[in-house]
Each structure stands twice: as structure tokens, then as C-alpha cells.
Chains A and B, each alone.
Chain A
Amino acid sequence: AQRVTQPEKLLSVFKGAPVELKCNYSYSGSPELFWYVQYSRQRLQLLLRHISRESIKGFTADLNKGETSFHLKKPFAQEEDSAMYYCALSGGTAGNKLTFGGGTRVLVKP
């Protein structure tokens, strides 16, 4: 069975400080990993995906297969980064289904 774990329910940081959201997964195969973000009163939207190796809004995430992790990082948090972040996994026999982690709420204080 595939599972995604986000150990932190809430991360509170000051503006300009680094922020790292942890995501660990269990999956027997080659997964596709995603980070989705939900800003206040908005729909869930894709932030980034591991296969693209991209940086979006200053965020990066590296897939570490040895540690089965896909942590999301940003060196200098901004107030507009305050949101709910979900790590998600897809692939293999589950096809295109997404399995979501429990989510981490990020609060960036001024």
C-alpha cells in the first residue's frame, strides 16, 4: 500500500527565514511525487512535481529514494507563502490516483 506522511501539522516561521516541509512516502515502485498548495479560500493547485526538477515561487523539492523523502524547501519565506501544503504520490498499479499526506499548514509571520 502506498502512503504519504507529513509529520508537521503546523510550521510557523518569520518572514525571511528558511522553511522546510517534510514529506516521507512508502511505495513499492517508482513513484511520481507532487506538492500541492491551497491558499486561503482558494482551490488546491499544483506547486511542483519531482520529475520536472523545477523551482516554483522559490520552492524546490528533491526526491531522495534512499530516504523515501520529498521535502519541500524555500530559503527565504514570504508572508504570501502562508498556506496549506500537501505532498502527494502517484504511480504504479494505482495508476493516476493521488495519495495525499495529511498536510502542513505554513504560517509566515511578519
Chain B
Amino acid sequence: GAVVSQHPSRVICKSGTSVKIECRSLDFQATTMFWYRQFPKQSLMLMATSNEGSKATYEQGVEKDKFLINHASLTLSTLTVTSAHPEDSSFYICSASHRAQGLNIQYFGAGTRLSVL
């Protein structure tokens, strides 16, 4: 099946630093990737849609200057949390869209737990 790799799985950083999270589709090309945020005991909230070769589309309320998304190739999207603060601590999950049997299916990474001190 389609595999999505997300790195790192866990990161602890100081307040004010920037953190980059990578999302790779290992065995397929993904023109579209998605970034989600998940708070404890809550569902996934879509942050943005990452399109290869173009600007990301952000959901309402998500600061695009805070969460920089780059989708430079068909297999890699990155999310950079700039000037991270404790309130940015969360679980971030990416997914990549893969077309199979006439349907676009999203395959998910294992997630990145960000802790900002």
C-alpha cells in the first residue's frame, strides 16, 4: 500500500525557535498533501492543503506566516512552525493524496509531537 513518512516523530524546542516537519510519500507521487493539527482527545483539524508547485491553501484561522508550507516536489511537503511558542505545542499530522481505483484516498503519516518549552 501507499506509505507516507513523517519526520521527526517528536521534537522539543525552545520558545522562539523554528521547527521544520517533513512529509514524504515513499512509493507514489502526491500532487496534494494535507497538514492537520490534533489536540489531545480531539479530532484532526485541517490546517492547510499543500499543492506541488503552488502556494498552499490555508484554512480559516490558520496563520500562513506562522505555519509555512512548501511542496517543492511530488513526494515532499514541509511544514515550518516559525517562532514557536508554547501554544503551538500539539500533534501535527500530514497526509498525501493518492489516486487508486478511481478515488483519491488520503494516506497518513505517523505524526509529529511538538513540545515548545
Q: Which residues of A come within 8 Å of B, CB atoms?
A: 32, 36, 42-46, 49, 51-52, 86, 90, 95-103
Cβ-closest chain B residue relative to A102:
B43
Q: Which residues of B come within 8 Å of A, CB atoms?
A: 32, 34, 42-46, 49, 93, 95, 97, 101, 103-111
Q: A102 vs B106: C-alpha distance in the bound complex, in angstroms? A: 18
Nearest-neighbour CB distance to chain A for B94, whole angstroms, equals 10
Instruction: Work out how many contacts link A and B, with CB atoms closer than 8 A.
Output: 44
Q: Which 3 A-B pairs have the closest CB atoms?
A: A44-B108, A43-B110, A96-B104
Residues of A within 8 A of B95 (CB): 44, 98
Nearest-neighbour CB distance to chain B for A88, whole angstroms, equals 8
Of B44, B103, B110, which is within 8 A of A51 by CB? B103
